[in-house]
């Protein structure tokens, strides 16, 4: 991720220092960048002169002290709060007081990181999505301590790097990793109930919903260990709200080492001559699966909007540009009809009587006030 962010900044004309405490990792990252640009030149996507200029703007920093003249530092290390705090405290002793200190964390509280600093007002979250050079979205997350001028400068800087910025409140999962949880969890729940297998659920979301990848394909691509860890983190951070409850299915796959593509096995078998089942073509079943997962996603997006996590526009842009959803979820809600969304959520709650299926208060209010998320 760090090398990807370095590419984005350098391509936008910035002078970039790339640091890692492990010298071999740092050298490997620099070499990887050169290889990536070599491939782009070979494909005719960039000319050789421009590629060389971009690469020249990325220099290895073998010591943390080499970052002392930086105007912006983006940390992209392991997702452990205490480790991040230590790094930020070290950086504060090196850089000027005008330098913005940012974390690329996907789930850790920005306020907690800022609290460890002498000048917490200059700390902010700048969350890229992998691979950073290709994914359009960047979530910018101000902590409650972050100065407004720092937020504005961070937004303008990332926007100048040709990225789409979504401003998110400093809550677990921010926008994307919060709103996307039902895409995985409800798909697993449908599988665990014996309603359909992996391939059929994936087929439903692609054929009816237009998603590029089904939930099980995507979990295998991300890595079941990574996806499970995020789910567990969000679940814990939300005081064990049942909407974010992890599944034993994914936990067992992770424990078994069936991590997905990177290990050769996950929900699917990626080894030589795999025997993966073909999906059913039962249109009624496929539509049921798609509508159930979609309304859970819409409900989560609506609740994020209701609680001021982000604006309706930023939520929709985040899901489209951060995880390639075919349509903004709240725009989708308008098209389906808010009343239909509420009816489907209530039907699920009536069947299960589980709090995970509670309907967002915002959706009910919008029916009462005859509102939509976006004006027609």
Please state whether 214 falls in left (phi above 0), alpha (psi between -120 and 50) or beta. Answer: beta
C-alpha closest to that of 342 among 299, 288, 294, 306: 299
Cα–Cα nearest to 249, from 202, 300, 193, 288: 193
Active-site positions?
A: 106, 127, 139, 177
Q: How many CB atoms lie within 10 A of CB 24?
A: 8
Name every residue whose Cβ is closer than 8 Å to that of residue 177 and which is 6 or more positions away in sequence: 106, 107, 230, 234
Residue tagged 């620099």 (tokens): 30
Angle at 259 between CA 256 and CA 260, to 5 degrees: 135
User: Treating both helix axes as pointing N-terminal to C-terminal, what angle do 283-306 and 198-207 enclose, rounded to 10 degrees?
Assistant: 70
Q: Are 134 and 7 in contact (CB under 8 A)?
A: no
Q: Answer whether 150's CB lies under 8 Å from 143's CB.
A: no
Rounded Cα–Cα distance for residues 77 and 245 (Å): 26
**Residue 260, phi then psi, degrees to nearest 5:** 115, -145
State yes or no: cis peptide before 319, omega within 30 of 0.
Answer: no
Least Cα distance to 165 among 297, 326, 2, 322 occurs for 322
Neighbour-count burial of 222, counting CB atoms closer than 10 A to its CB (0-12 exposed, 13-18 middle, 19+ buried): buried
Three-point CA angle 116, 117, 118, nearest 5°: 130
Q: 119: helix, coil or strand?
A: coil
């Amino acid at each position: 991720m760090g090398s990807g962010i370095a590419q984005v900044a350098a391509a936008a004309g910035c002078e970039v220092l790339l640091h890692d405490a492990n010298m071999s990792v740092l050298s490997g990252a620099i070499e990887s960048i050169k290889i990536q640009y070599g491939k782009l030149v070979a494909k005719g996507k960039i000319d050789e002169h421009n590629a060389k200029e971009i690469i020249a703007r990325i220099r290895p920093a073998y010591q943390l002290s080499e970052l002392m003249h930086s105007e912006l530092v983006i940390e992209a290390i392991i997702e452990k709060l205490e480790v991040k705090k230590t790094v930020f405290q070290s950086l504060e002793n090196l850089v000027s007081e005008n330098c913005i200190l940012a974390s690329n964390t996907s789930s850790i509280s920005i306020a907690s990181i800022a609290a460890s600093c002498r000048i917490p007002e200059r700390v902010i979250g700048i969350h890229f999505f992998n691979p950073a050079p290709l994914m359009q979205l960047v979530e910018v997350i101000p902590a409650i301590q972050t100065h407004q001028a720092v937020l504005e400068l961070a937004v303008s800087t990332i926007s100048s790097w040709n990225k789409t910025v979504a401003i998110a409140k400093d809550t677990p999962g921010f926008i994307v990793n919060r709103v996307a949880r039902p895409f995985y969890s409800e798909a697993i729940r449908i599988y665990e109930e014996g309603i359909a297998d992996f391939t059929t659920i994936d087929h439903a979301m692609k054929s009816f919903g237009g998603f590029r990848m089904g939930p099980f394909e995507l979990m295998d691509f991300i890595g079941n260990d990574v996806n499970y860890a995020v789910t567990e983190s969000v679940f814990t951070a939300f005081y064990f709200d049942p909407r974010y409850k992890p599944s034993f299915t994914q936990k067992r796959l992770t424990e078994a080492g069936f991590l997905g593509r990177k290990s050769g096995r996950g929900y699917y078998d990626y080894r030589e001559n795999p025997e993966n089942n073909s999906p059913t073509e039962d249109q009624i079943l496929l539509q049921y699966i798609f509508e159930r997962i979609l309304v859970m996603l819409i409900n989560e997006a609506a609740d994020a909007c209701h609680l001021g996590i982000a604006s309706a526009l930023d939520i929709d842009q985040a899901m489209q540009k951060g995880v390639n959803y075919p349509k903004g979820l709240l725009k989708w809600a308008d098209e389906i009809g808010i009343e239909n969304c509420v009816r489907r959520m209530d039907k699920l709650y009536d069947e299960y009587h589980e709090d995970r299926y509670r309907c967002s208060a915002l959706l009910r209010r919008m029916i009462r006030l005859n509102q939509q998320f976006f004006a027609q």
